[in-house]
Structure 1
């Protein structure tokens, strides 16, 4: 069986190369993250990664394999490119972790990953087909559409993924307009305890509008993004929502403004976001899908984020991220009606030379969840020290190898082994993209 699986991967790789119009034109890009880690009390646990940061706080592996090729071009300037991506997670507990196998433990601090593997992108993009818009491109297929990630806290500020179609790079005034229609269906949870009831999948069509490269002042640029989710219910789904069997999937808006300030060998970016309906919950729960696991009819939320990289001295470079989020009228499905949180992370690194850095990351979070007159409070902090082997001075260059130790402290919960509220861990991690 093992031999058959290895042969299958060999044949898939060979087919990808042979199907390329030109073997030498095929581009292979990707990302990989993994390593080995433990703690002073059993296996290492991750804690509030989206609040305290991913650095020294990750316990899984991840990979993305991307193939891209130009499959048509002629003297008229028209051309077509194609891209295919496959992404997956690994539990990193043993050697052979087959796709779909559950290798999580009973006391795992993460939900079971089941080592998934999925084709997340396959789309064609055509250039030169709209004479009146010479810089524009048209695309059709399944796509991870220009997501924006808060890298230190490892979550998407903007994530629009799924099958769709769009037009990019439409020159309008001083900036560039992009328009897209993307499908990403949303699961509406059962609202009542009924053995015969089941979750339902609602057809969700996202209209995506983006206006980028807006000159603001000096070299500062802005971007406006609007995502509107339109729910297309069946009559049966409308009936179940009306009688209270399922939560209602609401038409929802998420709007964002991004301001990017270039610095000397660095940058600073500010993101201001507003979401209503099923998008409001994402502001305080680090998601990006349309949520339908509570009554979000009146829900509203916002998020303000600032992050960047800057040189403090010639030999010290620092990354920071600050995120504040608030959401209200979240219904009865989440266990709280209102939530707010603040997360702060700061990571200075001393640059020994082009290939070696010493890093310290300090992070803290505070969160409140309110239901009626009761408010639950959570807070914690993280300290990570690491020696980094790298290929450049910036904290965004890859590949990197990190030899690290992390101390995690939870002030209001016991998320670690044996119901402890703190953990000291050690590990070696690699991260690469190409």
Structure 2
């Protein structure tokens, strides 16, 4: 076994050290606004075929008119094109595998939209480039290539009708006009690519959250004080041994899915691990991952280590069905305790998801419908999650949800949601809870930059625990005049001014800044992503 591992290691090292020879391209004028371009390339001489693909032939990777010929150790092709600028790459075919190769001696370079670069042909024989300019351009292309910065942020000020800053949300799961925090995600990524078409991307997400309204202090003893590194992982694909499979390892948001108007992540196997995805199965794609997640309290057992939930997740996605596509997810989870305070646990979960590229077949938009089932540590709060080791071993949970965005007209979009969950034996025998969250957000575009948002939601909870048995209902409505750059539902940034009113049963646990069974709040908020 050790010999095999060493052999694989040596092969990988040799593969990383192999660097193909660069190409050279020359241009000369043939009159009447046309130039003759001589493409030459001295790499991949053992390949079956090499083509030139670019804007001049609609990026056809194997256009017979743009096939290069090999002679005297050089791939070459001469073509006549109209004067202008064209982005392009070489496409190298080796044993059925296609590699998109950069011409590193091109006149210039441009982002390819996938974290890499395209070569740029400046088809003008009268244009000359000094050696220093060319060298500087290549250096800048190398420095900037594949760098990404994107993120998410929200911040605002919410005031109760009694005049104080709201330190607690109204007891509703619907988020518009009901968020009290400042939350920021900053993601930095760098893509590294090879001439054989393989690439790897390193991603890092820094998060900070402030639930207080002070502009210079945060709550002591919370991770929000100094922020948190939520993601740190590397992924890659296009490797010669498996060109169509994506590999990843590290700390990652894995396969997260949420309902936007309630910020409910119904699927979130985030944690530490590794996996593969984008494996072509003919019809659909396959992926699998191992995700480890340790206890929030740092529980430690002698002879075991820190208490951890181990998740092995299998997913089949993009399976074509009438009206859309299906996803099937199967998860196995286990956690080892000390057999005294916490037992060893081993449980399973299942999810079936149906996605449509329209709104239930009625109008333009999107739709997602899902059914989830889980047992033990994959039930209750652990349903669709990578960590919930406090669930009772006989717990059983089922969740049904459906949501989407309907483009009703050029002036109106609406996003409804229905989420129902039933937990049996959640914390112990016959300790049950069921909940339903039903609501919608309607956006009316008055102008291209000004809209009115209206959100209504009702939450119903019935619970029966050994220490408490009750049921309650909460209704919440928000009106929010909004300023934005474009009249589409997902366009951000947004500046919102809101008024929110909620009413319901006393058992809903209303915070002290509100009445015993109702609450009114108003404020401002911004939300953006990029």
Question: Residue 246 of structure 2 corresponds to which residue in structure 1?
Answer: 137
1:105-116 matches, within 5 Å, as 114-115=224-225
Question: Residue 109 of structure 1 corresponds to which residue in structure 2?
Answer: none
**In the alignment, which of 53, 58, 62 is matched to residue 183 of structure 2?**
62
Question: Residue 216 of structure 1 corresponds to which residue in structure 2?
Answer: 321
Say whether 1:238 aligns with 2:338.
yes
Higher relative contact order (CA 8 A, sep 6+): 1
Q: Distance in 1 between matches of 2:494 and 2:421?
A: 31
Q: Distance in 1 between matches of 2:481 and 2:159?
A: 17
Structure 1 pair 124–189 and aligned structure 2 pair: CA distance change class (3 A): closer
Q: Distance in 1 between matches of 2:236 and 2:412?
A: 44
**In the alignment, which of 366, 389, 397 is matched to residue 292 of structure 1?**
389
Q: Is the 8 A contact 1:273 1:304 kept in 2?
A: yes
Structure 1 pair 339–128 and aligned structure 2 pair: CA distance change class (3 A): same
Structure 1 pair 81–371 and aligned structure 2 pair: CA distance change class (3 A): closer
Q: Distance in 1 between matches of 2:270 and 2:203?
A: 15
Structure 1 pair 97–273 and aligned structure 2 pair: CA distance change class (3 A): same
Indicate the SS of the match to 1:260: strand
C-alpha RMSD of the superposition: 2.6
1:365-395 CA-partner distances (Å, limit 9, x unpaired)? 1110013697410111101001011223332
1:260-314 CA-partner distances (Å, limit 9, x unpaired)? 111254111101111110121127xx883432335x2211111000111113344
Question: Residue 202 of structure 1 corresponds to which residue in structure 2?
Answer: 307
Larger mean CA deviation between 202-211 and 300-309 belongs to: 202-211
Indicate the SS of the match to 2:378: helix
Q: Is the 8 A contact 2:292 2:386 kept in 1?
A: no
1:82-161 matches, within 5 Å, as 82-98=202-218, 101=220, 114-115=224-225, 117-129=227-239, 131=241, 133-161=242-270
Q: Distance in 1 between matches of 2:240 and 2:278?
A: 11
Q: Distance in 2 between matches of 1:174 and 1:87?
A: 38
1:60-97 CA-partner distances (Å, limit 9, x unpaired)? 111110011113x2221122111111112112411112
Q: Distance in 2 between matches of 1:123 and 1:371?
A: 41
Q: Is the 8 A contact 1:40 1:423 kept in 2?
A: yes
Q: Distance in 2 between matches of 1:248 and 1:43?
A: 44
Q: Distance in 2 between matches of 1:380 and 1:280?
A: 25
Q: Distance in 2 between matches of 1:303 and 1:381?
A: 21
Indicate the SS of the match to 2:422: strand
Q: Is the 8 A contact 2:338 2:344 kept in 1?
A: no
Report the TM-score when normalising by structure 1. Answer: 0.80
Q: Is the 8 A contact 1:125 1:137 kept in 2?
A: yes
Q: Is the 8 A contact 2:261 2:441 kept in 1?
A: no
Question: Residue 374 of structure 2 corresponds to which residue in structure 1?
Answer: 275
Indicate the SS of the match to 1:238: coil
Q: Distance in 1 between matches of 2:328 and 2:485?
A: 34
Indicate the SS of the match to 1:292: coil
**In the alignment, which of 491, 496, 501 is matched to residue 397 of structure 1?**
491
Report the TM-score when normalising by structure 2. Answer: 0.66
Q: Which runs of 5+ in 1 are unaligned?
A: 1-19, 103-111, 191-199, 241-245
Q: Distance in 1 between matches of 2:289 and 2:298?
A: 28
Structure 1 pair 115–379 and aligned structure 2 pair: CA distance change class (3 A): farther
Say whether 1:261 aligns with 2:350.
no
Say whether 1:368 aligns with 2:462.
yes
Question: Residue 3 of structure 1 corresponds to which residue in structure 2?
Answer: none
Structure 1 pair 228–47 and aligned structure 2 pair: CA distance change class (3 A): farther
Q: Is the 8 A contact 2:334 2:344 kept in 1?
A: no
Q: Distance in 2 between matches of 1:249 and 1:152?
A: 37
Question: Residue 13 of structure 1 corresponds to which residue in structure 2?
Answer: none
1:5-20 matches, within 5 Å, as none
Structure 1 pair 184–21 and aligned structure 2 pair: CA distance change class (3 A): farther
Say whether 1:32 aligns with 2:153.
yes
